[in-house]
Amino acid sequence: MSIFIQNVFLRGKNTNVYAENNRITYIGGETRKADICIDGSNKAIFPTLVNGHTHAAMSLFRGYGDDMPLQEWLSQKIWPAEAKLTQEDVYWGTKLACLEMIKSGTTLFNDMYWHFHGTARAVEEMGLRAVVCSVFIDFFQESKASSQQKESETLYAESRQYSSRIQFGLGPHALYTVSGKSLSWIKEFAMDKNLLIHFHLSETQQEIEECLKAHNMLPVEYLDSLNFLCPLLVACHAVYVEDKELDILKNNKVSLVHNPTSNLKLGGGKIFRYPQIKDRNIPFCVGTDGCASNNNLSMLEAMKFAALLQKWAHRDTTLLSAQEIWETATEKAHRIFHVDAGKIEVGKLADFMLVDKKHILMIPDHNTISNLVYSASPGVIDTVVCDGKILMEKGKVDGEEEIIAKASEVAKRIAFSGTTL
Amino acid sequence: MSIFIQNVFLRGKNTNVYAENNRITYIGGETRKADICIDGSNKAIFPTLVNGHTHAAMSLFRGYGDDMPLQEWLSQKIWPAEAKLTQEDVYWGTKLACLEMIKSGTTLFNDMYWHFHGTARAVEEMGLRAVVCSVFIDFFQESKASSQQKESETLYAESRQYSSRIQFGLGPHALYTVSGKSLSWIKEFAMDKNLLIHFHLSETQQEIEECLKAHNMLPVEYLDSLNFLCPLLVACHAVYVEDKELDILKNNKVSLVHNPTSNLKLGGGKIFRYPQIKDRNIPFCVGTDGCASNNNLSMLEAMKFAALLQKWAHRDTTLLSAQEIWETATEKAHRIFHVDAGKIEVGKLADFMLVDKKHILMIPDHNTISNLVYSASPGVIDTVVCDGKILMEKGKVDGEEEIIAKASEVAKRIAFSGTTL
């Protein structure tokens, strides 16, 4: 399988890009024969985006119980609906999410949810990449901990049936839902098998207060005391972290995921500590979180929220520039998830997109990256390629009508409510 | 001219909507003959959005000098480029802005810029509505004040050549660029002719400090001392206002425009004081500001920024709900600008849009308004009607290729720079 893209805009000039099997093998003026030829005129080629934290199947809950008090929303809306979800529901919910991510230029995401195989099957069929992390929650009960550990081992073994696009990851939910003993077990298992760990860290004030009460330590200090911190850990949110905790995260080579839209919608009151995190050179990327708390999966939008919030909070218009957030969401994010993509270069995986340079949100073209970060919405993306295969061409994805119909059916059934307005 | 929309989703059920000349004249189950019939299946009908504050022609500066220190950006990038603009450039820049607004469901905007006729002609041809306000700046010089007053009188007289879709408005820039004497003249002229006044108020800390130094009063107190405040005044930003200033604004029936994205991008550090403004029942709406400080004109995005910022800042997930921000940006905003639209009701002006209920960002359909506010991007909008005429159908606007080509040319010329990446 080979793809030849002719006359496409890359780093300031027009060129040709050739991908063979799943890697970019040539960039330059020559013409190459290929199975698929794409006219790149009026298009720019860019690496695809990485969604650093989501719960894909929760796309089924887009707009379900918005604007409610947090606990009421969870207990009356989300948890009862989640309790009804089958693996097949998760499969369709994840397909809906994958479709939206493809359309907004994302081809790699870090997921945490129930029904591992529902998610993995959907990703496999849709052609993206994902770190699929099975939720691990033991509520501090020995028997639950033991069954969750067994499940992790089983799912890890079973995950090998999928292609290399799917990485099995461990998904300990948070320190208020997983015992210290289980966290230690997870760290050992992860190190033994080289698996990424996906974790919610210091998202709310309540979490900090409870941790201080229970352990007389801040969350990061507590996790450090368990020897849980390691380079395989990807900690999401981390808005309520103190300087001394950032030092510990830095020393243990932990990566962070900033979810600006979700932090706003869930009423956090704190902001990702970008200047302090950049000072320490702690790796971080950006995520959307699930659709229930965002309510979309657009990394284009998430980049804008992230970049603008920092300028505003620190009264500095130069902070977290378009170029920097772009590199964070592409090259640096791929590195965090151990995927050799994120740059249009010979030798890199063929994960890229073609952007319509004549789309109104890209006009005028003073700065294409600025336009992508601060102006664009999903409609600017014309073509998406992942692992050397075309997932979207001219804005169309195979089978999208069926996905929309099936996911709508599932959402209606689990919510016990039709359209409200 | 009549339009019949059959089988369209409105307030929970499917119905038909009929518009004759420029008003909605029938909603119900009957079929009507019309010049134009539109199949509303899988579409929902909504009032179009109002952009409460923009500088439309600045769309030419989208992505031009982002992430620079504020003063450097203005003095090295924006002002030199603006100095080159001709009326024809403003015409094409405004056409670009109108095209983007139509595509994102906005049919009424409140504008402030140079070259009044460039803006007015563009709006006239594109079919939207606008309050077109000519910038008034005298830099405290008598001669400038006098020529600006004459220009306002001339433009007001000349503005009568345009259709009723175009309202002439007065655009005193801000209290640090317009003398007190001119502000008093503007107020009198506005009251005499019943014209809206478009003003930047308390956007930055520097503005407050300078006002205190010069007048020993806060900005609103100073404006009140000039007798400038009145129900025709639409004051934009108002992020640095104290409680006692809000009381004065309330007593004088001033309206406010919140521009969340611009406030963030320009590094303001303060947030629109929604709870205090709501408490006082001060009318307000939402705007995008110009493309140089946003960088798009999507009211869909602006609503999301506005609603989420309030939840975050006040740690209350129930604040400024989707329903409330939606009404603010439609019905309430039309009222501020004296346009009898903003609701799908018999008797109202035929300004409305059809939203694609099968667009991925509208799936599932637990709550259509939530989806519009928190999930949607411009691609969800299929058809736009203003003043009883179709401006967009199936996502296409007449002449869009020419607008994109011409505006790109103008932008390239005035910026002395090609594409940078």
Helix (H) or strand (E) holding B306: helix B299-313
Best of B42, B104, B295, B372 to disrupt the A interface (most A CBs within 10 Å) is B295
What are the residues whose beta carbons fall under 8 Å from the beta carbon of B373, sequence distance 6 or more?
Answer: B300, B303, B304, B307, B322, B325, B326
Would the CB atoms of A322 and B369 count as touching at under 8 Å?
A: no
**Does B418 score more than 80 pLDDT?**
no
**Does B416 score more than 70 pLDDT?**
no
What digits encode the pLDDT tens for the residues A304-346?
999 999 999 999 999 999 999 999 999 999 999 999 999 999 9
What is residue B223's predicted lDDT score, i.e. its pLDDT?
Answer: 98
pLDDT band at residue A419 using 50, 70 and 90 as cut-offs? very low
Is A199 in contact with A238 (CB distance < 8 Å)? no
Would the CB atoms of A317 and B265 count as touching at under 8 Å?
A: yes
Number of CB atoms found within 10 A of residue A249's CB? 24
Would the CB atoms of A269 and B322 count as touching at under 8 Å?
A: no
| A302/A355 Cα distance (integer angstroms) | 18
What is residue B267's predicted lDDT score, i.e. its pLDDT?
Answer: 86
Mean pLDDT of chain B: 96
- Return the DSSP state at B398: T
Best of A76, A94, A367, A396 to disrupt the B interface (most B CBs within 10 Å) is A367
Q: Domain A2-46+345-400 maps to which CATH number in 2.70.150.10, 2.40.128.260, 3.40.190.10, 2.30.40.10?
A: 2.30.40.10
For residue A58, give the chain B residue with the closest CA.
B364
Residue A379 has its nearest CB partner, among B265, B358, B377, at B377
For residue B419, give the chain A residue with the closest CA.
A366
Mean pLDDT of B8-27: 97
For residue B319, give the chain A residue with the closest CA.
A67
Would the CB atoms of A366 and B316 count as touching at under 8 Å?
A: no
List chain A domain ranges. 2-46+345-400, 49-336
The CA-CA-CA angle for residues A371, A374, A376, to 5°, reads 60
- Return the DSSP state at A118: H
Residue A322 has its nearest CB partner, among B9, B66, B268, at B66
Cis peptide before B295 (omega within 30 of 0): yes
Distances, alpha carbon B243 to alpha carbons B203, B239, B274, B278, in Å: 16, 11, 12, 12
Is A258 in contact with A284 (CB distance < 8 Å)? yes
Average the pLDDT over each of A242-256, B255-269, B346-360 and give the range with the smallest value.
B255-269
Separation in Å, CA of B273 to nearest CA in chain A: 15
Number of CB atoms found within 10 A of residue B163's CB? 11
pLDDT band at residue B268 using 50, 70 and 90 as cut-offs? confident
Percentage, residues of chain B above pLDDT 90: 95
**Does A267 score more than 90 pLDDT?**
no
What are the residues whose beta carbons fall under 8 Å from the beta carbon of A146, sequence distance 6 or more?
Answer: none
What digits encode the pLDDT tens for the residues B32-68?
999 999 999 999 999 999 999 999 999 999 999 999 9
- Return the DSSP state at A48: P
Mean pLDDT of B86-105: 98
pLDDT band at residue B71 using 50, 70 and 90 as cut-offs? confident
The CA-CA-CA angle for residues A236, A64, A102, to 5°, reads 60
Mean pLDDT of A144-172: 98
Radius of gyration of chain A (CA): 21
What digits encode the pLDDT tens for the residues B113-172?
999 999 999 999 999 999 999 999 999 999 999 999 999 999 999 999 999 999 999 999
pLDDT band at residue B421 using 50, 70 and 90 as cut-offs? very low
What is residue A71's predicted lDDT score, i.e. its pLDDT?
Answer: 86
Domain covering B2-47+349-394 assigned CATH 2.30.40.10 in the classification:
yes
What is residue B257's predicted lDDT score, i.e. its pLDDT?
Answer: 98
Cα torsion at B245, B251, B257, B258 (round to 10°)?
A: 50
Cα torsion at B400, B406, B410, B415 (round to 10°)?
A: 60
> Which of B190, B272, B284 lies closest to B228 in space, CA to CA?
B190
**Does A417 score more than 90 pLDDT?**
no
- Identify all chain B residues contacting A371, using CB atoms and an 8 Å cutoff: 62-63, 295
Distance from chain centroid for Cα B225: 28
Instruction: Report domain A49-336's class.
Output: alpha beta
pLDDT band at residue A416 using 50, 70 and 90 as cut-offs? low
Would the CB atoms of A371 and B266 count as touching at under 8 Å?
A: no
Q: Alpha helix (H) ranges present in B130-236?
A: 142-158, 180-193, 205-215, 219-225
Would the CB atoms of B367 and A64 count as touching at under 8 Å?
A: yes
What are φ and ψ of residue A284, in 5° steps? -145, 160
What is residue B12's predicted lDDT score, i.e. its pLDDT?
Answer: 92
What digits encode the pLDDT tens for the residues B203-245?
999 999 999 999 999 999 999 999 999 999 999 999 999 999 9
**Does A42 score more than 70 pLDDT?**
yes
Give me the total of CB pairs closer than 8 Å, taking one residue from chain A and one from chain B.
247
- Identify all chain B residues contacting A275, using CB atoms and an 8 Å cutoff: none
Q: Alpha helix (H) ranges present in A226-320?
A: 243-251, 260-265, 274-279, 299-313
Would the CB atoms of B264 and A311 count as touching at under 8 Å?
A: yes
Best of B13, B366, B381 to disrupt the A interface (most A CBs within 10 Å) is B366
Residue A364 has its nearest CB partner, among B268, B400, B407, at B407
- Helix B116-126 vs helix B87-103: angle between axes, to the nearest 10 degrees? 40
Would the CB atoms of B360 and A294 count as touching at under 8 Å?
A: no
Mean pLDDT of B358-363: 98
- Identify all chain B residues contacting A73, using CB atoms and an 8 Å cutoff: 317
**Does B70 score more than 90 pLDDT?**
no
What are the residues whose beta carbons fall under 8 Å from the beta carbon of B186, sequence distance 6 or more?
Answer: B136, B152, B170, B172, B178, B197, B228
Distances, alpha carbon B85 to alpha carbons B89, B396, B412, in Å: 6, 29, 12
What is residue A418's predicted lDDT score, i.e. its pLDDT?
Answer: 40
- Identify all chain B residues contacting A263, using CB atoms and an 8 Å cutoff: 312
Average the pLDDT over each of A11-15, A243-247, A415-419, B381-385 and give the range with the smallest value.
A415-419
Is B264 in contact with B237 (CB distance < 8 Å)? no
What is the β-pairing status of strands B197-201 and A2-10?
unpaired
- Identify all chain B residues contacting A321, using CB atoms and an 8 Å cutoff: 66-67
- What is the 3-state secondary structure of A168-216? EEEEECCCCCCCHHHHHHHHHHHHHHCCCEEEEECCCHHHHHHHHHHHC
**Does A198 score more than 90 pLDDT?**
yes
Would the CB atoms of B68 and A318 count as touching at under 8 Å?
A: yes
What digits encode the pLDDT tens for the residues B170-195?
999 999 999 999 999 999 999 999 99
What are the residues whose beta carbons fall under 8 Å from the beta carbon of B278, sequence distance 6 or more?
Answer: none
What is residue A421's predicted lDDT score, i.e. its pLDDT?
Answer: 36
| B316/B162 Cα distance (integer angstroms) | 46
| B288/B264 Cα distance (integer angstroms) | 11
SS3 A266: coil
